[in-house]
């Protein structure tokens, strides 16, 4: 949008000089040049701001899509009971966006399953060790 002052320049009346008439025209040209310079400055800054904003929006959109894809992968891993993959996926998500939502508490569930598996494995190792020890004692008694 071009904003320029509107000035009506009238033909000089017979009594005024041609020089005064020419002076009015030159003033009008000067006003138009000043207005054009201001407009270029404003529009240039606006254009840069618009482009910068568009780039920022584009980067944020790509980032959000990447996070959404990581979450979708974590959900698929959870459906396949690949609990460590779920935890790994959430580590990637939280490295980029610590407040990314997990409405299904998938991360907490995966961590709990892994914790229980570790406990079961430890208990199984203790049980195996005890059975092995008991088996040796029976062999020694026989």
* Residue 126 domain boundaries: 18-141
pLDDT tens figures, 76-91: 999 999 999 999 999 9
Alpha-carbon distances of 127 from 58, 118, 123, 130, 135, rounded to whole Å: 57, 14, 6, 5, 12
Q: Could you tell me if residue 4 is inside a domain?
A: no
| Residue 37 within any structural domain of the chain | yes
User: Among residues 113, 65, 114, 115, which one has the least CA distance to residue 93?
Assistant: 65
CB-hemisphere CA count at 13 Å for 68?
6
Q: How does pLDDT run across 90-140, given as a tens digit for each residue?
A: 999 999 999 999 999 999 999 999 999 999 888 776 666 666 665 565 655
pTM tops 0.75, yes or no: no
Whether residue 44 lies inside any domain: the answer is yes
Is residue 13 included in any domain, yes or no? no
What burial letters (b/e) apply to 42-81, b meaning 16+ CB within 10 Å? Answer: eeeeeeeeeeeeeeeeeeeeeeeeebeebbebbeebbeee
* Average of per-residue pLDDT values in the chain: 78
pLDDT, position 14: 52
Task: Report if residue 12 sits inside a domain.
Answer: no
For the chain, the helix, strand and coil percentages under 3-state DSSP, each to the nearest 5? 80, 0, 20
For residue range 13-56, list pLDDT tens digits in order: 554 565 665 566 556 566 666 666 666 666 666 778 878 889 99
**Domains of the chain: total:** 1
Q: Cβ-count burial of 127 within 10 angstroms (0-12 exposed, 13-18 middle, 19+ buried)?
A: exposed
13/39 Cα distance (integer angstroms): 34
Q: Among 5-14, 57-66, 127-136, which stretch is predicted with the lowest mean pLDDT?
A: 5-14
Cα 19 from Cα 44, distance rounded (Å): 37
> 67 in a domain, yes or no?
yes
Would residue 9 count as lying in a domain?
Answer: no
């Amino acid at each position: 949008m071009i904003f320029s002052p509107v000035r009506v320049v009238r033909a000089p009346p017979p009594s005024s000089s041609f020089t005064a008439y020419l002076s009015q025209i030159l003033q009008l040209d000067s006003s138009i040049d000043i207005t054009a310079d201001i407009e270029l400055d404003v529009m240039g800054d606006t254009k840069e701001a618009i482009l910068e904003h568009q780039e920022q929006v584009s980067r944020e959109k790509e980032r959000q899509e990447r996070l959404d894809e990581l979450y979708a992968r974590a959900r698929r891993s959870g459906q396949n009971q690949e609990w460590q993959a779920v935890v790994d996926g959430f580590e990637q998500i939280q490295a980029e966006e610590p407040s990314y939502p997990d409405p299904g508490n998938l991360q907490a569930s995966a961590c709990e399953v892994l914790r229980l598996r570790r406990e079961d494995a430890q208990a199984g190792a203790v049980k195996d060790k005890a059975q092995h020890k008991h088996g040796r004692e029976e062999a020694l008694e026989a």
